[in-house]
Structure 1
Amino acid sequence: MQLDFSYYNPTTIHFGKDSLAKLDSELPKFGDTVMLVYGRNAIKSNGLYDKVIASLNAAGKKVVELSGVMPNPTYSKMMEGVELVREHKVDLILAVGGGSVVDCAKGISVAAYCTDQDPFQKYWIEWQDVSNEVVPVASILTMVGTGSEMNGGSVITHEESKTKAGRVFPPIAYPKFSILNPEYTFTVSEYQMVSGVFDTMSHLMEQYFSDQGANTTDYVIESLLKSSIDNLRVALKNPQDYEARSNIMWNATLALNTVTGLSKTQDWQVHMIEHQLGAYTDCAHGMGLAAVSLPYYRLIYKFGLDKFVRYATQVWGVSAEGKTKEQIALEGIDALEAFTKECGIVTSLEELGATKEMLPKIAESTVILGNGYKKLTTEEVLNILEECY
Structure 2
Amino acid sequence: MSMNHYMPTRLITGRDCVKKSPEELKRIGDSVLVVTGRNGARACGALGDVEEALKSNGQKWVLYDKIGQNPKLEDCMEAAKLAIEWAVDGVVGIGGGSPLDAAKCIAVLAANPGMTKEQLYGLMWKNSPLKIAAVGTTAGTGSEVTKVSVITTDGRKKSFHHDALYPLLSFGDAGYTMTLPEQFTRSTAVDAMAHCVESYFSKAADGLSRNFAVSGICILLEVFKKMQQSGGADMACEAMSYQDREKCYEASIYGGLAINKTGTCFPHTMGYLLTEDYGIPHGTACAVFLPEFYAYNRRVASGLSEKFLEDIHVGEEEFIGLIKAITSECKVAISEEKIAKAHGRWENNNSIRKCQGEMTADEADDILRRIFPRFLS
Q: TM-score, normalised by structure 1?
A: 0.83
Whole-Å Cα distance in 2 between the matches of residues 197 and 213 of structure 1?
Answer: 22
Cross-structure match for 1:190: 182
CA contact (8 A) 1:274 1:289 kept: yes
Whole-Å Cα distance in 2 between the matches of residues 59 and 186 of structure 1?
Answer: 27
SS in 1 for 2:257: coil
Distance of aligned partners of 1:117 and 1:178 in 2 relative to their CA distance in 1, 3 Å threshold: closer
Matches within 5 A, 1:297-312: 297-312=294-309
Please list the CA deviations of residues 332-373 of structure 1 after superposition, one character each: whole Å capped at 9, or x if unmatched: 2x43331024335434334xxx66643333332245232222
Cross-structure match for 2:152: 157
Q: Does 2:48 match 1:50?
A: yes
How far does residue 381 in structure 1 lie from its aligned partner after superposition? Answer: 1.7
Cross-structure match for 1:228: 220
Whole-Å Cα distance in 1 between the matches of residues 180 and 44 of structure 2?
Answer: 11
SS in 2 for 1:256: helix
RMSD value, Cα: 2.7
How far does residue 44 in structure 1 lie from its aligned partner after superposition? Answer: 2.5
Cross-structure match for 2:270: 273
How far does residue 266 in structure 1 lie from its aligned partner after superposition? Answer: 6.4
Whole-Å Cα distance in 2 between the matches of residues 61 and 22 of structure 1?
Answer: 17
Cross-structure match for 2:162: 169
Letter in 1 for 2:360: T
CA contact (8 A) 1:209 1:266 kept: no
How far does residue 55 in structure 1 lie from its aligned partner after superposition? Answer: 2.7
CA contact (8 A) 2:81 2:110 kept: yes
Whole-Å Cα distance in 2 between the matches of residues 44 and 212 of structure 1?
Answer: 38
Cross-structure match for 2:243: 243
SS in 1 for 2:91: strand
Whole-Å Cα distance in 2 between the matches of residues 30 and 338 of structure 1?
Answer: 44
Whole-Å Cα distance in 2 between the matches of residues 93 and 381 of structure 1?
Answer: 38
CA contact (8 A) 1:134 1:173 kept: yes
How far does residue 267 in structure 1 lie from its aligned partner after superposition? Answer: 5.8
Distance of aligned partners of 1:348 and 1:300 in 2 relative to their CA distance in 1, 3 Å threshold: farther
Cross-structure match for 1:329: none
SS in 2 for 1:307: helix
CA contact (8 A) 2:188 2:283 kept: yes
How far does residue 154 in structure 1 lie from its aligned partner after superposition? Answer: 0.7
Cross-structure match for 1:339: 322
Q: Does 2:297 match 1:293?
A: no
SS in 2 for 1:89: coil
How far does residue 141 in structure 1 lie from its aligned partner after superposition? Answer: 1.3
Q: Does 2:312 match 1:315?
A: yes
Distance of aligned partners of 1:148 and 1:212 in 2 relative to their CA distance in 1, 3 Å threshold: closer
**Greater percentage in helix:** 2
Cross-structure match for 2:349: 368
Q: 2:363 aligns with which of 364, 374, 380?
A: 380
Whole-Å Cα distance in 1 between the matches of residues 257 and 126 of structure 2?
Answer: 23
Distance of aligned partners of 1:335 and 1:29 in 2 relative to their CA distance in 1, 3 Å threshold: same
Contiguous gaps of at least 5 residues in structure 1: 319-331
Q: Does 2:98 match 1:100?
A: yes
Cross-structure match for 1:358: 338
Cross-structure match for 1:256: 256
Whole-Å Cα distance in 2 between the matches of residues 141 and 347 of structure 1?
Answer: 25
How far does residue 156 in structure 1 lie from its aligned partner after superposition? Answer: 0.6
Q: Does 2:68 match 1:88?
A: no
Cross-structure match for 2:139: 144
Letter in 2 for 1:306: G
Paired residue total: 361
Q: Which range moves more in the overlay, 107-116 or 192-201?
A: 107-116
Whole-Å Cα distance in 2 between the matches of residues 241 and 42 of structure 1?
Answer: 19
How far does residue 94 in structure 1 lie from its aligned partner after superposition? Answer: 1.0
Whole-Å Cα distance in 1 between the matches of residues 131 and 263 of structure 2?
Answer: 29
How far does residue 255 in structure 1 lie from its aligned partner after superposition? Answer: 1.5
CA contact (8 A) 1:142 1:185 kept: yes
SS in 2 for 1:143: coil
Letter in 2 for 1:143: T
Letter in 2 for 1:253: I
CA contact (8 A) 1:291 1:346 kept: no
Please list the CA deviations of residues 128-185 of structure 1 after superposition, one character each: whole Å capped at 9, or x if unmatched: 3654221111122111211001111111111x2x321122221x22111111111111
Please list the CA deviations of residues 239-259 of structure 1 after superposition, one character each: whole Å capped at 9, or x if unmatched: 44222211210111121225x
CA contact (8 A) 2:102 2:151 kept: yes
Please list the CA deviations of residues 186-213 of structure 1 after superposition, one character each: whole Å capped at 9, or x if unmatched: 1112221121121111111122114599
Contiguous gaps of at least 5 residues in structure 2: 231-236, 373-377
Distance of aligned partners of 1:54 and 1:116 in 2 relative to their CA distance in 1, 3 Å threshold: closer
Distance of aligned partners of 1:64 and 1:217 in 2 relative to their CA distance in 1, 3 Å threshold: closer
Q: Which range moves more in the overlay, 61-70 or 213-222?
A: 213-222
Cross-structure match for 2:194: 202
SS in 2 for 1:68: strand
SS in 1 for 2:362: helix
SS in 1 for 2:62: strand
Distance of aligned partners of 1:180 and 1:211 in 2 relative to their CA distance in 1, 3 Å threshold: closer
SS in 1 for 2:197: helix
Whole-Å Cα distance in 1 between the matches of residues 124 and 3 of structure 2?
Answer: 22
Q: Which range moves more in the overlay, 59-68 or 209-218?
A: 209-218
CA contact (8 A) 1:294 1:337 kept: yes
SS in 2 for 1:64: strand
How far does residue 384 in structure 1 lie from its aligned partner after superposition? Answer: 1.5
Please list the CA deviations of residues 209-229 of structure 1 after superposition, one character each: whole Å capped at 9, or x if unmatched: 145998454344323211111
Whole-Å Cα distance in 1 between the matches of residues 281 and 335 of structure 2?
Answer: 16
CA contact (8 A) 1:276 1:365 kept: no
